């Protein structure tokens, strides 16, 4: 409780929508202490789904059996309510009455606000298909947008053999891969010339389609689906514009989502594709904000979680007064396919033709390894990665993403961008005669190969002798086999050395050892082998 | 140095790290080593932790006893003796009485002007249990000051804080180190144990040989290479992202159904909140933050889970080191690691667990006996009325007379000489000038003091700034106890007589107590001080009441808690219950956050800091051992060839590494074991190559640990400079 001067009436915030953006906003607001510029914050949460906020990004993982439904939860409605939040889940907002400054709900109640944040998300797009009544589609037709969709697909997948995924974008391919991993025959029907055409160029699309093929997912591109066939109310297949039919008992429609703007439109707010917001995430009404998939910022409706969470952070900073000047200025989109054995990442300006890049002030490097399904492409401007595609090369995907996010300068040798896992050749040879004398054999005591050779020259013939003379193998002892191997090699090479060990490399003292030149255990094995 | 008896073998322990390798010291009066009084030979002694092994530091430890610049007489600035002119600034030898009188007078003056908190005390994790205990008692009873803390804040304070909030009590390893050898998997988070604690690597050979060693480290360290050579994994993450990586591992464990549900139900609380919090950290998102491919992360999580007893494995251990802990989010990082361990059902089970690899020689004991700002002996809390009453009774004082918790280390050092801050500082067992981040500012603070008193063995960089330097005894010259990283209490024994003129820290404190009107409060006989420590710790989390020199000298292996003389000690904690009020371990939901001083256009590279095998901490000891200096003579900057090429830097070039706080200059060492976005500098040196001139002192909000492990820097070649080799 605050003592002293009356902090005034609470600032009432209602968050409409309890998906990934809305739930995150609630968490961010509460994490800042529950105050709004000195006034107590009163928070109301409205959500259509009966569940607490959950991780929608992982729904395709649920389809693939790689995510646990119970583990998707990201908010705790009971905990929120216990903490004083007015939680209204399973309830939809019907209208925002801007004059009365209340949100009217479908249960007949209303919630007054000082600030209203729209986080209503997006709805899956279902194309007009002959034979599909959107109000009563045949059994077997699904979208993949919420938890109930994912559960229904998992349940349906248990009793079906052939599935079609309509749409070869990110979500469609994740779903297709997931269904294939459940043992279904899966066909992806995609209207564009190659999959993920918004993120990948033609070569990338081709490599990805081939990888998918090897994983049991057939891709048909340029396929315009016009109708669904069904028997007794159950889906039997999809008909293309060329008249061919692809048999299927399960259809997952994944051709995109449309921002849910109905509430905003009815309230008279400015709406484009999404609810229009400025860099402060404010709509055309200064007391109403919008974040996440329902919002359109600088012409972008990203549909990705990272921008939504960044927007939630900015709104929380502003509403609580933590940072009244916080602003959202856009996000560099990173697309990362979540699917086993595919390893696809795409970001920034990647759809650049290498032969036209120079005119645009860009530089393109790429690696195409069709046989192994690898494709890596980096687009640079002024030595900085501004776009990239990586398929089948996980380290490249990770490093290119980091480089682009930070705007760090790229390696001079651009090949390193494509294969960051390649290690520079070391000067440590596996051949026992070629291990440099300065190489450290016993790290614990800084004993080099040269010192061991010197000890042998001076008469040491057993590991114990060498240990006594050099302290090799007297620390952790893991180099004992290497010491033994060197002794075996020396004995083998010259059983009766002349005094002072003529013909044997001169020893080097422990001083100036080179930690980088430590002999790895596998070299020790080679030494042992060579000695036999 | 003088031998106690020529040829006598004395069983003691290495002066350096928390492994406290067992050694035998043999004194040869007849020569060798060229030192007066003969030579001391160090041999490894068979012991469960080091199994007879020693690293190069240990084998050469006797050289520290022969340090040519060993302090053997108290030194005082001439001006304190009334000398004027240039002589006034010099340290001149004086007798002990004169030196202690001056210190006592300075303390009295400061207290008269500024009250008890005008005098501050700074301790160290290398001090024996007895010294650490005496230091805390001296501060609270003799000085009555709240201003005491120690360098353990830069050591394992984050792990300690996280351990306490999960388990209710913090013992670095709540199991014997040797237990680790039987496990199928070991996850090392930010620990280069092959260089920092070399003989301990032997315990990892079993898991490593089974392909079960997983190392999280931005560098391909010797430890990471050891893991890879055995078929294990190295996860080379972006500096400062251990927390995200651990959240990602836990995400996979949760979502792939790999948790130990029975254990979670029976032995823990708080799982649901943690499960909700890690829902946000799916592997592909973690990849974008850490640079570790999602598939690699999944593979690592599955390997750990397969080793867990719930899934039929032979056990798994998750261990953190300074790399994970020395961050402004260090406590939360360790909590994430503990959460992962709890989800897999590891802590409190024989053959599995979570542990912190404590670094300093007595880093464990040093954090238990009251030299920490908020703490009383027995790992008690200074703000707990029952704890105050118990300890006050042992000390024979009124509980109300005990001060409240004071400033933590970095805050204390930055307060020195400021309005309202201390004007007198007593330093024992710490070289703060080298070991504290933003060290130039620390030097300014030390210079602004009315009186700086440093008790040390050699003229360390901190001692050289002091107004009064008091020469004290070192490891082989004294008796005492140390508590290893496993919570095992070991005996340090006197093998040689200290040089005439050096006194134990206990004698220093007792001498000051006498002069400040508290005669007899501080004991000088280590065994008696230890017995008193036992009484003060009795009933506390770290209960030593049942431990005695007699039991230790009889060869008993004793791990705390050991509440009674008949108690066998506790090698493995938490087997039945955790140290929390309800006996259950607590999951703690945490979230990742970026590096405090993160990359930007004019500082596009991370600096990470760490250690080399041949040197220990601030280097005050090891930089005086010729063999170690010959092996690694000075600091250097590890740079990836690609970053070097972009910056026109060749191997051996002198480079400058600059942050907003300061810069260092050292030769470049090109290596592909460091990430191209990162440079590495070992921190054991002062002067132009001192890493902590550059590092960040932003503090962890819970442990008050500074973020010395990572900051943003620029790296440039210094034209025309010759690389300097620093002493």
Whether A532 has a pLDDT exceeding 60, the answer reads no
CATH number assigned to the domain covering B605-717: 2.40.40.20
What confidence score (pLDDT) does residue A478 get? Answer: 85
What residues in A contact B641, CB-CB < 8 Å?
Answer: 424
Task: Give the distance from residue B55's alpha carbon to the nearest chain A alpha carbon, in angstroms.
Answer: 5
Domain for residue A432, yes or no? no
Whether B86 has a pLDDT exceeding 80, the answer reads no
Cross-chain CB nearest to A475 (options B55, B273, B677): B55
The pLDDT confidence band at residue B4, using thresholds 50, 70 and 90, is low
Q: Are A43 and A76 in contact (CB under 8 A)?
A: no
Q: Give B489's strand partners.
A: B483, B558
> Beta strands A122-124 and A257-259: pairing type?
antiparallel
Instruction: Verify that A457 and A418 share a domain, yes or no.
Output: no
What confidence score (pLDDT) does residue B721 get? Answer: 57
The pLDDT confidence band at residue B241, using thresholds 50, 70 and 90, is very high
Instruction: Verify that A232 and A294 share a domain, yes or no.
Output: no
| Mutate: best of B53, B264, B339, partner A, most A CBs <10 A | B53
Closest-CA residue in chain A for B42? A471
Instruction: Verify that A251 and A148 share a domain, yes or no.
Output: yes
Contact between A475 and B205 using a beta-carbon 8 Å cutoff:
no
| Mutate: best of A342, A478, A522, partner B, most B CBs <10 A | A478
The beta-strand segments (E) located in B449-543 are 451-456, 468-471, 480-483, 488-492, 496-497
Buried b (16+ CB within 10 A) or exposed e, B501-530: ebbbbbbbbbbbbbbbebeebbbbebbebb
Domain for residue A328, yes or no? no
Whether A522 has a pLDDT exceeding 50, the answer reads no
Instruction: Verify that A453 and A470 share a domain, yes or no.
Output: yes
Q: How far does CA A284 lie from the centroid of its chain?
A: 33
Domain for residue A265, yes or no? yes
Q: CATH number, domain at A514?
A: 1.10.10.1100
Domain for residue A2, yes or no? no
Query: What's the pLDDT tens digit per position in B199-219?
Result: 999 999 999 999 999 999 999
Number of Cβ atoms within 10 Å of the Cβ of A180? 22
Share the mean pLDDT of chain A.
88
What residues in A contact B51, CB-CB < 8 Å?
Answer: 477
Instruction: Verify that A453 and A389 share a domain, yes or no.
Output: no
User: How wide is the angle at C-alpha A51 spanned by C-alphas A49 and A55, nearest 5°?
Assistant: 95
Closest-CA residue in chain A for B600? A406
Closest-CA residue in chain B for A521? B229
Last residue of a domain, one of A236, A255, A274: A255
Domain for residue A531, yes or no? no
Query: What's the pLDDT tens digit per position in B697-726?
Result: 999 999 999 999 999 999 999 986 554 444
Rg (CA), chain A: 32
The pLDDT confidence band at residue B35, using thresholds 50, 70 and 90, is very low
Task: Give the distance from residue B466's alpha carbon to the nearest chain A alpha carbon, in angstroms.
Answer: 34
Contact between B293 and A395 using a beta-carbon 8 Å cutoff:
yes
Average confidence (pLDDT) over B412-426? 96
What residues in B contact A75, CB-CB < 8 Å?
Answer: 276
Cross-chain CB nearest to B56 (options A398, A445, A518): A445
**Is A307 near chain B, with CB under 8 Å?**
no
Q: CATH number, domain at A216?
A: 3.50.50.60
Domain for residue A315, yes or no? yes
**Minimal CA–CA distance to B221: which of A510, A445, A518, A394?**
A518
Q: Based on the number of CB atoms within 10 Å of its own CB, is A419 exposed (0-12), middle (13-18) or buried (19 or more)?
A: middle
What residues in B contact A396, CB-CB < 8 Å?
Answer: none
What confidence score (pLDDT) does residue A495 get? Answer: 66
Identify the helix (H) or strand (E) that includes residue A233: none
**Is A401 near chain B, with CB under 8 Å?**
yes
The beta-strand segments (E) located in B336-383 are 353-356, 375-376, 380-381
**Pairs of CB atoms within 8 A across A/B:** 168
Q: Looking at the 3D structure of chain A, how many domains does it have?
A: 4
Secondary-structure class of domain B159-356 per CATH:
alpha beta
What confidence score (pLDDT) does residue A425 get? Answer: 42
Q: Cα(B178)–Cα(B411) distance, rounded to whole angstroms?
A: 38
The pLDDT confidence band at residue A224, using thresholds 50, 70 and 90, is very high
Which residue ranges make up each domain of chain B? 2-66, 75-155+362-559, 159-356, 605-717
Cross-chain CB nearest to B229 (options A423, A516, A522): A522
Instruction: Verify that A51 and A198 share a domain, yes or no.
Output: no
DSSP string, B84-108: -GGGGGSEEE--HHHHHHHHHHHHH
Residue B315 token pair: 């056990």
Instruction: Verify that A117 and A177 share a domain, yes or no.
Output: no
Cross-chain CB nearest to B646 (options A412, A444, A476): A412
Instruction: Verify that A384 and A301 share a domain, yes or no.
Output: no
**Is A411 near chain B, with CB under 8 Å?**
yes
User: How wide is the angle at C-alpha B721 spanned by C-alphas B715 and B726, nearest 5°?
Assistant: 85
Q: Are A214 and A182 in contact (CB under 8 A)?
A: no
Contact between B292 and A398 using a beta-carbon 8 Å cutoff:
yes
Tally of CA atoms within 13 A in the half-sphere of B186 that contains its CB: 33
Contact between B56 and A423 using a beta-carbon 8 Å cutoff:
no
In Å, how far are B36, B254, B550 from B249, measured between CA atoms? 58, 9, 47
What confidence score (pLDDT) does residue B30 get? Answer: 58
Range name among A230-244, B17-31, B201-215 with the lowest pLDDT average: B17-31
What residues in A contact B291, CB-CB < 8 Å?
Answer: 398-399, 401-402
Instruction: Verify that A240 and A154 share a domain, yes or no.
Output: yes
Query: What's the pLDDT tens digit per position in A431-485?
Result: 455 667 888 888 888 898 889 999 999 999 898 999 989 999 888 888 888 888 8
Q: Based on the number of CB atoms within 10 Å of its own CB, is B318 exposed (0-12), middle (13-18) or buried (19 or more)?
A: buried
The single-letter DSSP state of residue B207 is: H
Contact between A445 and B627 using a beta-carbon 8 Å cutoff:
no
User: What's the sign of the alpha-carbon dihedral B703, B704, B709, B714?
Assistant: positive
Average confidence (pLDDT) over B568-579? 97
**Minimal CA–CA distance to A30: which of A45, A17, A19?**
A45
Residue with tokens 């293309």: A240
Phi, psi of A283 (to 5 degrees): -85, -165
Q: Cα(A488)–Cα(B586) distance, rounded to whole angstroms?
A: 55
Whether B560 has a pLDDT exceeding 90, the answer reads yes
Q: Give B425's strand partners.
A: B120, B452
Domain membership of residue A490 as a residue range: 440-524
Percent of chain A with pLDDT over 90: 68
Contact between B293 and A55 using a beta-carbon 8 Å cutoff:
no
Q: Are B134 and B522 in contact (CB under 8 A)?
A: yes
According to the CATH classification, is domain B75-155+362-559 in 2.40.50.140? Answer: no
DSSP string, A62-120: HHHT-S-GGGGB---HHHHHHTT-EEEES--EEEEETTTTEEEETTS-EEE-SEEEE--
Residue B151 token pair: 């360098």
Task: Give the distance from residue B122's alpha carbon to the nearest chain A alpha carbon, in angstroms.
Answer: 32
Which 262-291 residues of chain A touch chain B by CB within 8 A?
Answer: none
The pLDDT confidence band at residue A411, using thresholds 50, 70 and 90, is confident
Range name among A366-380, A389-403, B32-46, B677-691 with the lowest pLDDT average: B32-46
Closest-CA residue in chain B for A522? B229
Average confidence (pLDDT) over B181-202? 96
The beta-strand segments (E) located in A17-74 are 35-36, 39-47
Residue A83 token pair: 């903490």
Phi, psi of B144 (to 5 degrees): 65, 25
In Å, how far are A215, B110, B141, B402 from B513, measured between CA atoms? 78, 16, 9, 16
Domain for residue A130, yes or no? no
**Which architecture does CATH list for B2-66?**
Single Sheet (2.20)
Task: Give the distance from residue B590's alpha carbon to the nearest chain A alpha carbon, in angstroms.
Answer: 12
Residue B38 token pair: 């003969």
Cross-chain CB nearest to A478 (options B202, B277, B627): B202
One fold for B159-356 and B605-717: no
Whether A507 has a pLDDT exceeding 70, the answer reads no
Query: What's the pLDDT tens digit per position in B100-133?
Result: 999 999 999 999 999 999 999 999 999 999 999 9
**Minimal CA–CA distance to B39: which of B30, B51, B48?**
B30
Q: Cα(A298)–Cα(B285) distance, rounded to whole angstroms?
A: 25
What confidence score (pLDDT) does residue A523 get? Answer: 43
**Is A451 near chain B, with CB under 8 Å?**
no
Closest-CA residue in chain A for B285? A336
Contact between B599 and A67 using a beta-carbon 8 Å cutoff:
no
What confidence score (pLDDT) does residue A423 get? Answer: 56
**Is A397 near chain B, with CB under 8 Å?**
yes
What confidence score (pLDDT) does residue B29 get? Answer: 64
Domain for residue A396, yes or no? yes
Instruction: Verify that A177 and A228 share a domain, yes or no.
Output: yes
Contact between B230 and A521 using a beta-carbon 8 Å cutoff:
yes
What residues in B contact A515, CB-CB < 8 Å?
Answer: 222, 612-613
Contact between A510 and B627 using a beta-carbon 8 Å cutoff:
yes
Residue A296 token pair: 């359109």
Whether A303 has a pLDDT exceeding 90, the answer reads no
> Beta strands B663-670 and B605-610: pairing type?
unpaired
Q: Cα(A342)–Cα(A98) distance, rounded to whole angstroms?
A: 48
Instruction: Verify that A262 and A251 share a domain, yes or no.
Output: no
What residues in B contact A334, CB-CB < 8 Å?
Answer: 288
pTM for this structure?
A: 0.92
């Amino acid at each position: 409780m605050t003592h002293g001067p009356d902090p005034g009436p609470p600032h009432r915030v209602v968050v409409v929508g309890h998906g990934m953006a809305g739930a995150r906003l609630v968490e961010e607001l509460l994490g800042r202490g529950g105050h709004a510029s000195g006034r107590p914050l009163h928070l109301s949460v409205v959500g259509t789904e009966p569940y607490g906020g959950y991780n929608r990004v992982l729904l395709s993982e649920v389809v693939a059996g790689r995510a646990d439904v119970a583990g998707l939860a990201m908010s705790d409605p009971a905990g929120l309510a216990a903490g004083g939040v007015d939680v209204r889940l399973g309830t939809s907002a019907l209208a925002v009455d801007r004059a009365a400054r209340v949100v009217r709900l479908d249960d007949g109640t209303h919630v007054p606000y000082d600030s209203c944040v729209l986080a209503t998300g997006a709805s899956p797009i279902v194309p007009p298909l002959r034979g599909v009544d959107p109000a009563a589609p045949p059994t077997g037709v699904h979208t993949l947008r919420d938890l109930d969709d994912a559960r229904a697909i998992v349940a349906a997948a248990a009793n079906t053999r052939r599935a079609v995924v309509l749409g070869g974008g990110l979500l469609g391919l994740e779903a297709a891969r997931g269904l294939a991993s459940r043992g279904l025959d899966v066909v992806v029907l995609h209207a564009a010339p190659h999959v993920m055409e918004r993120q990948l160029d033609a070569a990338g699309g081709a490599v990805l389609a081939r990888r998918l093929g090897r994983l049991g997912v057939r891709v048909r591109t340029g396929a315009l689906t016009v109708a669904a066939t069904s028997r007794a109310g159950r889906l039997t297949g999809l008909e293309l514009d060329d008249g061919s039919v692809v048999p299927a008992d399960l259809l997952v429609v994944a051709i995109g989502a449309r921002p849910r703007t109905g509430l905003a439109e009815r309230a008279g707010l400015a709406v484009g594709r999404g609810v229009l917001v400025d860099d402060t995430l404010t709509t055309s009404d200064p007391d109403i904000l919008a974040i996440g998939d329902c919002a359109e910022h600088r012409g972008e409706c990203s549909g990705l979680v990272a921008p939504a969470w960044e927007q939630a952070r900015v709104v929380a900073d502003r509403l609580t007064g933590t940072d009244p000047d916080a602003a959202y200025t856009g996000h560099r989109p990173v697309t990362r396919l979540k699917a086993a054995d595919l390893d696809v990442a795409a970001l920034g300006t990647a759809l650049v033709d290498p032969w036209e890049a120079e005119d645009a002030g860009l530089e393109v490097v790429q690696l195409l390894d069709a046989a192994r399904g690898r494709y890596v492409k980096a687009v640079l401007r002024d030595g900085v990665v501004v776009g990239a595609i990586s398929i089948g090369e996980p380290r490249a995907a990770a490093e290119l993403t980091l480089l682009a996010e930070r705007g760090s300068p790229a390696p001079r040798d651009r090949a390193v961008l494509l294969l960051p896992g390649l290690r520079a050749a070391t000067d440590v040879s596996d051949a026992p005669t070629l291990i440099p004398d300065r190489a450290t054999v016993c790290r614990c005591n800084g004993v080099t190969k040269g010192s061991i050779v010197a000890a042998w020259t001076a008469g040491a013939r057993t590991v114990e002798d060498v240990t006594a003379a050099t302290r090799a193998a007297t620390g952790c002892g893991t180099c004992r086999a290497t010491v033994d191997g060197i002794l075996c090699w020396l004995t083998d090479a010259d059983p009766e050395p002349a005094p002072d060990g003529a013909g044997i490399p001169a020893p080097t003292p422990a001083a100036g050892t080179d930690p980088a030149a430590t002999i790895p255990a596998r070299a020790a094995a080679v030494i042992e082998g060579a000695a036999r | 140095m003088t031998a106690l008896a020529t040829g006598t073998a004395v069983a003691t322990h290495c002066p350096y790290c928390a492994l406290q390798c067992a050694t035998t010291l043999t004194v040869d009066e007849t020569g060798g080593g060229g030192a007066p009084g003969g030579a001391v030979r160090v041999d490894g002694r068979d012991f469960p932790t080091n199994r007879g092994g020693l690293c190069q530091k240990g084998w050469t430890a006797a050289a520290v006893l022969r340090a040519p610049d060993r302090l053997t007489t108290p030194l005082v600035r001439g001006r304190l003796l009334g000398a004027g002119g240039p002589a006034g600034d010099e340290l001149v030898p004086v007798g002990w009485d004169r030196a202690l009188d001056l210190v006592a007078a300075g303390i009295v003056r400061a207290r008269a002007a500024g009250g008890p908190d005008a005098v501050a005390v700074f301790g160290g994790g290398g001090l024996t249990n007895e010294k650490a205990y005496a230091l805390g008692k001296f501060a609270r009873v003799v000085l009555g000051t709240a201003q005491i803390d120690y360098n353990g804040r830069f050591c394992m304070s984050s792990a300690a804080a996280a351990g306490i909030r999960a388990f209710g009590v913090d013992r670095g390893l709540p199991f014997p180190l040797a237990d680790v050898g039987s496990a199928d998997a070991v996850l090392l988070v930010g620990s280069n144990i092959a260089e920092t604690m070399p003989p301990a690597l032997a315990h990892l050979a079993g898991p490593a040989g089974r392909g079960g060693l997983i190392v999280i480290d931005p560098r391909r360290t010797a430890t990471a290479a050891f893991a890879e050579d055995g078929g294990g994994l190295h996860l080379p993450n972006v500096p400062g992202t251990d927390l995200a990586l651990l959240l990602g591992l836990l995400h996979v464990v949760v979502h792939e159904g790999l948790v130990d549900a029975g254990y979670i139900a029976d032995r823990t609380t708080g799982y649901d909140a943690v499960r909700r919090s890690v829902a946000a950290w799916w592997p592909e998102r973690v990849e974008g933050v850490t640079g570790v491919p999602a598939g690699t992360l999944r593979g690592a999580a599955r390997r750990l889970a397969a080793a867990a007893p719930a899934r039929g494995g032979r056990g798994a251990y998750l261990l953190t080191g300074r790399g994970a802990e020395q961050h402004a989010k260090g406590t939360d990082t360790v909590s994430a690691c503990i959460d992962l361990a709890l989800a897999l059902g590891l802590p409190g089970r024989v053959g599995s667990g979570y542990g912190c690899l404590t670094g300093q020689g007595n880093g464990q004991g040093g954090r238990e006996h009251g030299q920490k700002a908020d703490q009383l002996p027995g790992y008690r809390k200074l703000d707990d009325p029952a704890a105050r009453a118990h300890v006050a009774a042992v000390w024979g004082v009124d509980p109300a007379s005990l001060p409240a918790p004071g400033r933590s280390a970095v805050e204390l050092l930055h307060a020195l000489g400021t309005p309202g801050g201390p004007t007198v500082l007593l330093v024992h067992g710490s070289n703060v000038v080298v070991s504290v981040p933003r060290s130039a500012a620390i030097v300014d603070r030390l210079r602004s003091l009315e009186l700086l008193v440093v008790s040390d063995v050699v003229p360390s960089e901190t001692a050289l700034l002091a107004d009064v330097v008091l020469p004290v005894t070192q490891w082989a010259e004294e008796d005492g106890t140390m508590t290893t990283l496993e919570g095992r209490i070991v005996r340090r024994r006197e093998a040689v007589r200290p040089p005439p003129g050096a006194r134990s820290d206990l004698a220093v404190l007792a001498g000051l107590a006498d002069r400040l009107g508290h005669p007899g409060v501080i004991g000088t006989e280590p065994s008696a001080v230890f017995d008193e420590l036992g009484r003060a710790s009795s009933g506390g989390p770290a209960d030593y009441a049942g431990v005695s020199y007699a039991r230790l000298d009889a060869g008993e292996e004793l791990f705390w808690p050991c509440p009674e003389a008949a108690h066998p000690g506790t090698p493995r904690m938490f087997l039945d219950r955790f140290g929390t009020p309800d006996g259950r371990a607590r999951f703690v939901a945490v979230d990742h956050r970026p590096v405090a001083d993160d990359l930007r256009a004019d500082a596009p590279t991370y600096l990470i800091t760490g250690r080399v095998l041949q040197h220990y901490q601030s280097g005050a000891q090891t930089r005086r051992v010729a063999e170690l200096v010959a092996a690694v003579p000075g600091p250097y900057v590890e740079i990836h060839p690609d970053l070097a090429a972009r910056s026109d830097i060749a191997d051996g070039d002198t480079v400058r590494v600059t942050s907003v706080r300061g810069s260092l200059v050292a030769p470049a060492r090109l290596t592909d074991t460091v990430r191209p976005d990162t440079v590495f500098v070992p921190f054991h040196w002062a002067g132009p190559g001192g890493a902590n001139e550059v590092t960040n002192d932003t503090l962890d909000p819970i442990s008050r640990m500074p973020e010395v492990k990572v900051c943003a820097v620029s790296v440039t070649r210094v034209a025309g400079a010759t690389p300097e080799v620093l002493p």
